[in-house]
Structure 1
Amino acid sequence: MPAPENRFKSRLAAGETLIGAWVGLGDAYAAEITATAGFDWLLIDGEHAPNDLRSILSQLRVVEGSASAPVVRLPMGETWAIKQALDIGAQSLLIPMVESAAQAEQLVRAVRYPPNGNRGVGAALARASRFSAIPDYLATADAQIWLGVQVETRAGLDVLDEILTVEGVDGVFIGPSDLAADMGFPGQLDHPLVQRAIRAAIRVICASGKAAGILWTDEVNARNAVADGARFVATTIDVTTYAAAIRDAAARGLALKP
């Protein structure tokens, strides 16, 4: 019995464009509600959301039971953190702030077992192997791991071509907010220079044959990203969606007061 099929990886490999959402509330019950919405993929955020390994695991469980494919974003690309995320069953990882091909190569090694990498061999006691119920896990796990790297600084863009040559990097995600800030335009995601850099980067990624991704909550920007060839695009964030809806509900309710 091989490792489970990674639906996110196989659908991207088939050339699909996948629309997703950011899951940042840090709660499995909330993640389960989002998982009923029908998105192609959901990003469980360990970088900017109040998550630890156990809360990521609880959200991973509920998303896996839905039609949405889970992707886990770690706060950093440390080998030990990647090992733990893979062992709890994450098959698609997104790693922030990648700024060199050497860094990307290190990440590739971290998601692969020896002799092709340096992922620690301990899955026999882990959820990833169904606690040893998948006898062929060690031999088949590498093929089902999807690795995405975030390029979100000028330094990263400067070496984007080099990062794209790294075998084992499956996708490159452009981080608009960090990139805008690094370019000297914090909060100005629609600044012409930021927009030009993002759209050019997406086209370069697509030309390399790797999947380009981005988070755009603005529909026009999201539409442009898809038109430029981006194939994993998140269009909303649970935190801001809930915040906007509950504030609107409060305003409407309070307006009823005599």
Structure 2
Amino acid sequence: MKNLRSKLRSGHTVVGTWCNSGSPIIAELMSASGFDFVCVDAEHSAVDVPQAQTLFQAVAAGSSSCAPIVRLHGVDYALVKRYLDAGARGVICPLINTRADAELLVSAVKYPPEGRRGVGFCRANQFGVRVSEEYKQANHEILTAVQIEHIDGVHNIHDILSVPGIDAAFIGPYDLTASMGITAQFDHPEYIQARDRILHACQEKGVVPGIHVVQPNTDELIARAHEGYRFLAYSLDITMLLHTCQAGVAKLKGFLAHRELESAGGRTED
């Protein structure tokens, strides 16, 4: 079975989702649903490293073909190492705005000589059973993705993507539009232009373009795939749950309200 990085490097398009709830049950369920990856969000959630390790285990339990990855809170060498040791098979790092940011990320992810990640007994190497194997394989298997979510990152996109070891560039639509003064205006011409600039730079540099469609809108994600994005994230657990609950409640309460009106009309006629 190919790992996530190998799938992308082979030209495949992958579809995953986000886990913000911190629920191992939901993480396992999403993994078993057929997603190629489940990304544990350590930036915009209360999930810490021990919880993330449990979530990675849950993803692995759901399906051996679903990769557990993590969205970091930033480039913090000590924490990057801990999430990888806990079993993350890829990282997405937010707010990468310069070449120096990207170089720091690669250095934190890669074992020497390509980086400076430390070696220790941990879940990633079966607590010491596979130290040599993991050391040899990790630099070839761990996905390293930058998140472009500020206009400064767009301006510096070619420099960022020129850093050896960057596998993918992932657009953060909400923060990117916020940095442009057009928060959540995803149809705005300036945002579309910025998005296209990132996509074209990825294609030029041989880096996989990725994007997150936060609302559970399959048509929009399919449209992004048609444009050339291959690292696709479909919504997140809490948003999918919220939409399902809202739709169900709205339909049921609409039915009940209509029935009450009919009943009231019948009583008036009597």
TM over 0.5: yes
Structure 2 residue 162 is matched with structure 1 residue 169: no
- Bigger shift: residues 131-140 or 83-92: 131-140
Please give the alpha-carbon distance, in whole angstroms, between the structure 2 residues aligned to 1:28 and 1:135. Answer: 27
- Bigger shift: residues 109-118 or 167-176: 109-118
C-alpha displacement of 1:94: 0.5
- Bigger shift: residues 131-140 or 58-67: 131-140
Match of 2:116 in 1: 118
Residue pair 2:173, 2:184 contacting (<8 A) in 1 also = no
C-alpha displacement of 1:109: 0.8
Match of 1:34 in 2: 30
- Larger helix proportion, structure 1 or 2? 2
Please give the alpha-carbon distance, in whole angstroms, between the structure 2 residues aligned to 1:250 and 1:53. Answer: 35
Q: Percent identity?
A: 33
Provide the secondary structure at the position in 1 that maps to 2:245. helix
Q: 1:46 aligns with which of 42, 47, 67?
A: 42
Provide the secondary structure at the position in 1 that maps to 2:44. coil
Match of 1:256 in 2: 256
Which one-letter code corresponds to 1:243 in the other structure? L
Matches within 5 A, 1:53-202: 53-65=49-61, 66=63, 67-122=65-120, 125-136=121-132, 137-202=134-199
Distance 1:138 1:59, change over 3 A: same
Match of 2:15 in 1: 19
Please give the alpha-carbon distance, in whole angstroms, between the structure 1 residues aligned to 2:69 and 2:14. Answer: 12
Which one-letter code corresponds to 1:240 in the other structure? T
Please give the alpha-carbon distance, in whole angstroms, between the structure 1 residues aligned to 2:97 and 2:220. Answer: 24
Which one-letter code corresponds to 2:77 in the other structure? T
Provide the secondary structure at the position in 2 that maps to 1:256. helix
Give the alignment's Cα RMSD to 1 decimal: 1.8
Runs of 4+ with >6 A deviation: none
Residue pair 1:73, 1:95 contacting (<8 A) in 2 also = yes
Which one-letter code corresponds to 1:68 in the other structure? C
Q: Deviations over 1:63-98 (max 9, x none)?
A: 123132222111111000101011111120100000
C-alpha displacement of 1:103: 1.1
C-alpha displacement of 1:249: 2.4
Distance 1:165 1:25, change over 3 A: same
Please give the alpha-carbon distance, in whole angstroms, between the structure 2 residues aligned to 1:95 and 1:70. Answer: 15
C-alpha displacement of 1:200: 2.6
Q: Which runs of 5+ in 1 are unaligned?
A: none
Please give the alpha-carbon distance, in whole angstroms, between the structure 1 residues aligned to 2:59 and 2:146. Answer: 22
Please give the alpha-carbon distance, in whole angstroms, between the structure 2 residues aligned to 1:95 and 1:130. Answer: 25
Q: Deviations over 1:4-56 (max 9, x none)?
A: x8611111111101112122111111111222221222211111122111111
Q: Determine which structure has more spread, i.e. the larger CA radius of gyration.
A: 2
Provide the secondary structure at the position in 1 that maps to 2:165. coil
Q: Which runs of 5+ in 2 are unaligned?
A: 261-270
Aligned residues, how many?
252
C-alpha displacement of 1:161: 0.3
Which one-letter code corresponds to 2:199 in the other structure? I
Residue pair 1:6, 1:144 contacting (<8 A) in 2 also = no
Please give the alpha-carbon distance, in whole angstroms, between the structure 2 residues aligned to 1:97 and 1:138. Answer: 28
Which one-letter code corresponds to 1:80 in the other structure? A
Distance 1:71 1:190, change over 3 A: same
Please give the alpha-carbon distance, in whole angstroms, between the structure 1 residues aligned to 2:131 and 2:21. Answer: 35
Please give the alpha-carbon distance, in whole angstroms, between the structure 2 residues aligned to 1:140 and 1:43. Answer: 21
Please give the alpha-carbon distance, in whole angstroms, between the structure 1 residues aligned to 2:233 and 2:52. Answer: 19
Structure 2 residue 10 is matched with structure 1 residue 8: no
Q: Deviations over 1:171-190 (max 9, x none)?
A: 11111111111111012122
Residue pair 1:24, 1:49 contacting (<8 A) in 2 also = yes
Provide the secondary structure at the position in 2 that maps to 1:131. helix
Which one-letter code corresponds to 2:129 in the other structure? A
Which protein has greater RCO, CA pairs closer than 8 Å, 6+ apart?
1
Please give the alpha-carbon distance, in whole angstroms, between the structure 1 residues aligned to 2:164 and 2:2. Answer: 18
Which one-letter code corresponds to 1:100 in the other structure? T
